[in-house]
């Protein structure tokens, strides 16, 4: 497990790529909590699964995709006189 330990620097990197500021309190307690979670999901490495097991779920099929046709929105506000020269007119910026 040791090689998985999340240091404070690792956490700061993860927070940066996730675009989240962490509070001092979180910076303090998250490394230990995330370590435990990663240790828990690490059991997946015992599984010897290769490409023969497909990524897509077996026997899951969806019906045909609909045609890409233009339909009027159900939203009445969009259909009521707010188009101008083929564009939608938004509210004025304050």
Partner 1 sequence: MTNLKDLLAHEVVVGLTEGQFSAEEYVISILKRIEEVESKVHSFITLDSEGALSSAKILDKKLREKEEIGQLAGVVVGIKDNISTQGIRTTCASRILEKYVPTYDATVIKNLKENGAIILGKLNLDEFGMGSTTEYSRYQPTHNPWNLDYVPGGSSGGSGAAVAAGECTVALGSDTGGSIRCPSSFCSVVGLKPTYGRVSRYGLISYANSLEQIGPICRSVKDLVMMLNIISGKDRMDSTSMSSSPITVSNKSNNLNVAIIKELITDSDPEVTKSVYGASEKFREIGCSCEEVSINNLNYALPSYYTLASAEASSNLARYDNLRYGFDYPIEEYKWETYFSNVRESFGEEVKRRILIGSYVLSSGYYGKYYLKARRLRSLLRLELLTLFKKYDLLIGPTMPILPFKFGEKIDDPIKMYLVDINTVLANLAGIPAISLPIGFSNGLPIGLQIMAAPFEEQKLLDASYELEKVINIQRVPNSI
**Which residues contact partner 1 by CB under 8 A?**
6, 11, 14-23, 26, 30, 33-34, 36-38, 40-45, 47, 49, 53-60, 62-63, 65-66, 74-75, 77
Identify which of residues 41 and 72 has a Cβ nearer to partner 1 in the complex. Answer: 41
Identify which of residues 54 and 92 has a Cβ nearer to partner 1 in the complex. Answer: 54
Name the minimum Å distance from CB 85 to partner 1: 23
DSSP-assigned states of every residue in 28-54: HHHHHHHHHHHHHHGGGGG----TTS-
List phi, psi (to 5°) of 75: -75, 115
Q: Which two tokens stand for residue 29?
A: 């307690």
What Cα–Cα distance (Å) separates residue 48 from each residue in 1, 10, 24, 44, 75?
Answer: 19, 28, 40, 9, 51
Identify which of residues 42 and 89 has a Cβ nearer to partner 1 in the complex. Answer: 42
Name the minimum Å distance from CB 89 to partner 1: 16
């Amino acid at each position: 497990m040791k090689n998985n330990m999340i240091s404070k620097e690792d956490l700061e990197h993860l927070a940066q790529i996730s675009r989240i500021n962490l509070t001092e309190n979180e910076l303090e307690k998250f490394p230990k909590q995330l370590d435990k979670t990663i240790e828990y999901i690490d059991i997946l490495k015992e599984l010897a699964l290769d490409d023969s097991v497909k990524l897509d779920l077996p026997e899951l099929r969806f019906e045909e995709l609909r045609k890409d046709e233009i339909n009027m929105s159900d939203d009445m506000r969009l259909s009521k006189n707010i188009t101008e020269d083929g564009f939608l007119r938004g509210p004025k910026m304050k």
